[in-house]
């Protein structure tokens, strides 16, 4: 199934049968990346007296509870409500679920024990016309990242100056394959988050989103994609998300 999409007066052709997910599968405990020492994702059958909601345990059907922390368990998309005093919700902030996105692979810079994406690195990106979604794949890109416990490892982050530059370039949806755009321990400054959402200010970026802990396999090439951001209609600041990429033929 093919579709032709017009963005800023330009036609882009995609094949809707060839979407690729860059999200981590939610298999259950110990099969999903986690961060910030959050509890592991847990999927358990409902148990009532002699009744169990699991066919493998003799139940007549599967009827299970899911326990999850969106920020700490796997791929998730968050809105301004993540850092704001005001109760902004992901279901209200993500109003357009399809974006023109660009996937870029970056080898982070290193300073002492820190790995980060610098201003100079994002300034070197050749942005395609009308792109408003940037996806960054960091090196080394390892399959075990899909189930890694990032807690206490000081993962790669993006410097706030780099984030300010991306905002000026018109990036409204930012995605990265690490647990946070900010340093794991940053004394609560959250500089990259605040720079991205222009918060606090009189003009916060209400429609902008950040997606963390994506995973783009090596066979998904850098380039231009139509990006479909799929979230749950949760009355929360964040939601587990499935990010689908459709390679653009323009």
pLDDT tens-digit map of 151-166 = 999 999 999 999 999 9
Specify if 129 maps to a domain.
Answer: yes
Of 119 and 5, the structure prediction assigns the larger pLDDT to 119
Q: Is 45 domain-assigned?
A: no
Angle at 143 between CA 142 and CA 145, to 5 degrees: 75
Distance CA 93, CA 99 (A): 14
Report how far residue 221's alpha carbon sits from residue 219's, in angstroms, rounded to the nearest whole number. Answer: 6
Q: Is residue 118 part of a domain?
A: yes
The pLDDT of residue 31 is 77
Q: Which residues pair with 96 in a beta bridge?
A: none
d(CA 159, CA 165): 10
* pLDDT band, very low/low/confident/very high, at 200 (cuts 50, 70, 90): very high
Q: For residues 167 and 197, give the distance between their C-alpha atoms in angstroms, rounded to a whole number.
A: 9
Q: Which CATH number do you get for residue 8?
A: 3.50.30.50
Single pTM value for the model: 0.95
137 is a domain residue: yes
Residues spanned by the domain of 118? 2-26+70-247
| pLDDT > 80? residue 174 | yes
Domain count of the fold of the chain: 1
Residue 177 lies in a domain: yes
Does the pLDDT at position 250 exceed 70? no
How sure is the predictor about 49, in pLDDT bands with cuts at 50, 70 and 90? very high
Compute the average pLDDT of residues 140-145.
Answer: 94
Mean pLDDT of all residues in 134-154: 95
State the average pLDDT over residues 98-127: 97
The answer to whether residue 34 sits within a structural domain is no
Number of helices (H), then strands (E), belonging to the chain: the values are 4, 17
3-state secondary structure of 122: helix
Domain presence at residue 17: yes
Q: Is the pLDDT of residue 26 over 90?
A: no
* d(C-alpha 5, C-alpha 14), whole Å: 8
The answer to whether 162 touches 106, Cβ cutoff 8 Å, is no
> Residue 52 falls within a domain, yes or no?
no
How many angstroms separate the Cα of 205 from the Cα of each of 151, 162, 196, 199? 29, 17, 8, 8
CA–CA separation, 171 and 77 (whole Å): 15
Give the pLDDT confidence score for residue 28 in this predicted structure.
73
Say if residue 42's pLDDT is above 70.
Answer: yes
């Amino acid at each position: 199934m093919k579709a032709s999409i017009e963005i800023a007066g330009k036609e882009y052709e995609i094949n809707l049968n060839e979407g690729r997910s860059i999200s981590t599968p939610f298999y259950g405990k110990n099969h999903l990346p986690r961060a910030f020492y959050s509890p592991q994702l847990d999927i358990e059958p409902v148990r009532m007296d002699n009744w169990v909601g699991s066919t493998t345990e003799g139940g007549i059907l599967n009827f299970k509870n899911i326990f999850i922390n969106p920020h700490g368990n796997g791929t998730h998309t968050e809105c301004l409500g993540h850092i704001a005093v005001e109760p902004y919700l992901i279901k209200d902030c993500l109003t357009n679920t399809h974006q023109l996105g660009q996937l870029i692979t970056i080898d982070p810079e290193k300073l002492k024990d820190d790995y980060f994406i610098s201003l100079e690195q994002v300034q070197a990106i050749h942005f395609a016309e009308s792109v408003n979604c940037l996806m960054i794949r960091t090196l080394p890109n390892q399959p075990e990242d899909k189930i890694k416990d990032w807690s206490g490892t000081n993962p790669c982050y993006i410097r706030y100056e780099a984030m300010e530059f991306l905002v000026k370039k018109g990036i409204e949806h930012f995605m990265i394959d690490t647990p946070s755009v900010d340093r794991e321990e940053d004394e609560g400054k959250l500089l990259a988050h605040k720079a991205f959402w222009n918060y606090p200010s009189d003009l916060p970026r209400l429609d902008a989103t950040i997606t963390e802990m994506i995973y783009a396999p090596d066979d998904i090439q850098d380039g231009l994609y139509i990006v479909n951001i799929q979230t749950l209609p949760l009355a929360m600041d964040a939601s587990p998300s499935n990010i689908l990429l459709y390679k653009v033929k323009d």
